[in-house]
Amino acid sequence: MARRLIPALLILLAFAIPPKARARTVYRCVRDGTVSLATAPEPGSQCFAKELDDNAAILPNLWGTMGVVHGTLYQRTQDGKTVYSTRNLPGSTRVLAFTVKTPEGSPAHAGLGKVGAPRLGEFPRQFKAAANATGVDEAWLRAIAHAESAYDANAISVKNAKGVMQLMPDVIADYGVKDPFSAKESIMAGARHLKTLQTLYEGDLTLVAAAYNAGIGAVTQYGGVPPYVETQEYVAKVQALYARYRKAMGLAALPVQLQPAQ
């Protein structure tokens, strides 16, 4: 069948559920760093369900920021039912090819720090003061700083985030930061921003991390962690760092680890 320029999501919906349905579920599945869409959870993949309203004027982009996606829709039987997926799983047969254009970029960034050993000697007075002033866990504040800049007060990202806490221009303006490269100002503003996010998301640190990385608008748009590779990797990195910093500071391990929101 000839390759077509139509949204892959619509292809899935056209085959998956009778026309009279008012809403349907599509699964965004991730495996080995690759994304697929399916009408049922895929074995071996981490899948997140998305409820779609047939009456919506615009269907959401579930692919993420991947540029132009060329793929194939496959059909197979799972648990006695016919299901469709853009991943070629065992027992699949080809239905049709598709091309779909997704956004080229995202507001998110991967961060400049890598997961590694905790570095408690970096700016001790500034972190303690910011934690005490805002009530933000110092281990959490340090995990964000480590992931963002690796404590480089002069760091600038490709998204124009600046300083230890990699403050974006709007955050710099919102919190009255005069010098984003001042470790004291950056850490305090970062802590205040994290406090605002923790209040907004009622303590859900997964959403806090996602919003710090990609912005509140992106989290609102997708109803959780945005489908940006940068943000998903960032949340996992912060999760690991937070656990390491709490251990290094002699704090009890969290009863529930951060997990990507569904």
Active site residues: 148
CA separation for the pair 167, 157 (Å, rounded): 10
Query: Which residues neighbour 121 within 8 Å (Cβ) at sequence distance 6 or greater?
Result: none
Residue 164 Ramachandran class (φ > 0 left, ψ -120 to 50 alpha, else beta): alpha
Decide: 23 and 51 in contact? Cβ < 8 Å: yes
Residue type, 54: D
Helix axes 205-214, 229-248, angle to 10 degrees: 130
3-state secondary structure 42-108: CCCCEEEEEEEECCCCCCCCCCCCCCEEEEEEEEEEECCEEEEECCCCCCCEEEEEEEEECCCCCCC
Query: Minimal CA–CA distance to 226: which of 241, 237, 211, 208?
Result: 211
Alpha-carbon dihedral 117, 114, 241, 168, rounded to 10 degrees: 130
Beta bridge partners of 48: 28
Paired strand residues for 167: 162
Q: Residue 97: exposed, middle, or buried by beta-carbon count in 10 A (0-12, 13-18, 19+)?
A: middle
Among residues 3, 12, 85, the alpha carbon closest in space to that of 43 is found at 85
